[in-house]
């Protein structure tokens, strides 16, 4: 079944075309990385899929996105923005917000347990009573990811999820996205770090100037693609079977 289908999606802001006739499909169980330079339209595309930006041409599980209620959509889509703001709420309460689509006026024992497990998964169990405005940028990023996972979505949308994270935490977050897809979920991640994307994702969309320039598996990872997309020459080597992109200048 198609988890996400985008058909002829265009989006403009203040008269400026950001996305131009974007079309692609993502199956359940896929891990897709969306790559490209700054200003390519990657984050805008993710916000269109999530419903943050109003647009037509997006289907979620073969139904128009706009046909879902906000609560129904929240059970299907978990969204991690590129930047998040901290506040006076504790880490526990912030992650508990991810359970809002399932809760009544008060959380159930099941909701508390779900939050506890997610906090442990991301190594945040020692931060539960800490306020988010007391966290580092990397710690806050992990809390936002935990909140999205607490929603138990079918589709995980993450915009630069490894921003502000150290190397170990980057690997942990990408493994979570990889595991999410391996268990039947769908991971769609916008990234700048090409080599990190190649380490974990299995399908890649490259964008430039609001258009998709390439879409496929490792077969599309060639040096001339990077010259077209990024305007630089690269060499591509393999380490343990995984392509590694080395910029030449």
- What share of the chain in percent tops pLDDT 70? 100
pLDDT in tens, 137-151: 889 999 999 999 999
Q: Residues 37-61: pLDDT tens digits? A: 999 999 999 999 999 999 989 999 9
Is the pLDDT confidence value at 113 over 80?
yes
Short-list 174, 181, 180, 214, CA closest to 198: 174
Say if pTM beats, i.e. exceeds, 0.85: yes
The residue written with tokens 């599309």 in the block is 220
Instruction: Note the pLDDT of residue 150.
Output: 96
Domain 2-247: give its CATH superfamily.
P-loop containing nucleotide triphosphate hydrolases (3.40.50.300)
Q: Could you tell me the two tokens for 128?
A: 């539960």
Taking each helix axis from N to C terminus, what angle separates 137-150 and 167-182, rounded to the nearest 10 degrees?
10
Residue environment code for 213-238, b if the CB has 16+ CB neighbours within 10 A, otherwise e: ebbeeeeebeeebbeebbeeebeeee
pLDDT score recorded for residue 215: 98
Q: What tokens does 245 get?
A: 């992109």
Dump the DSSP string for 209-243: TTEEEEEESGGG--HHHHHHHHS--EEEEEETTEE
Average pLDDT value over all residues in the chain: 94
Longest dimension (CA), the chain: 57
Residue 249 has pLDDT above 80, yes or no: no
Confidence (pLDDT) at 98: 96
How sure is the predictor about 196, in pLDDT bands with cuts at 50, 70 and 90? Answer: very high
pLDDT of 4 reads 98
Give domain limits for the chain.
2-247
Q: Report the range of poorest mean pLDDT among 82-86, 132-136, 145-149, 224-228.
A: 82-86
Mean pLDDT (whole number) for 180-201: 96
What confidence tier does 164 reach under pLDDT thresholds 50, 70, 90?
confident
């Amino acid at each position: 079944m198609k988890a996400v289908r985008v058909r002829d999606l265009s989006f403009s802001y203040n008269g400026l075309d950001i996305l131009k006739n974007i079309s692609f499909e993502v199956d359940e169980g896929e891990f897709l990385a969306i790559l490209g330079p700054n200003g390519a339209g990657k984050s805008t595309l993710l916000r269109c899929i999530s419903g943050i930006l109003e647009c037509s041409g997006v289907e979620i599980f073969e139904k128009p996105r706009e046909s879902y209620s906000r609560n129904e959509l929240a059970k299907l889509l978990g969204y991690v923005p590129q930047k998040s703001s901290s506040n006076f709420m504790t880490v526990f309460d912030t992650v508990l917000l991810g359970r809002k689509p399932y809760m009544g006026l008060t959380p159930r024992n099941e909701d508390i347990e779900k939050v506890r497990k997610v906090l442990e998964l991301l190594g945040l169990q020692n931060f539960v009573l800490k306020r988010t405005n007391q966290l580092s940028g990397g710690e806050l990023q992990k809390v936002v990811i935990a909140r999205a996972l607490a929603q138990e979505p079918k589709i995980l949308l993450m915009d630069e999820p490894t921003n502000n994270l150290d190397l170990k935490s980057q690997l942990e977050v990408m493994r979570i996205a990889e595991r999410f897809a391996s268990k039947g979920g769908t991971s769609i991640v916008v990234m700048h770090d090409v080599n990190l994307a190649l380490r974990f994702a299995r399908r890649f969309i490259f964008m430039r100037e609001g258009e998709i320039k390439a879409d496929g598996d490792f077969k599309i990872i060639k040096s001339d693609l990077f010259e077209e997309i990024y305007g630089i020459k690269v060499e591509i080597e393999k380490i343990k079977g995984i392509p590694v992109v080395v910029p030449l200048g």
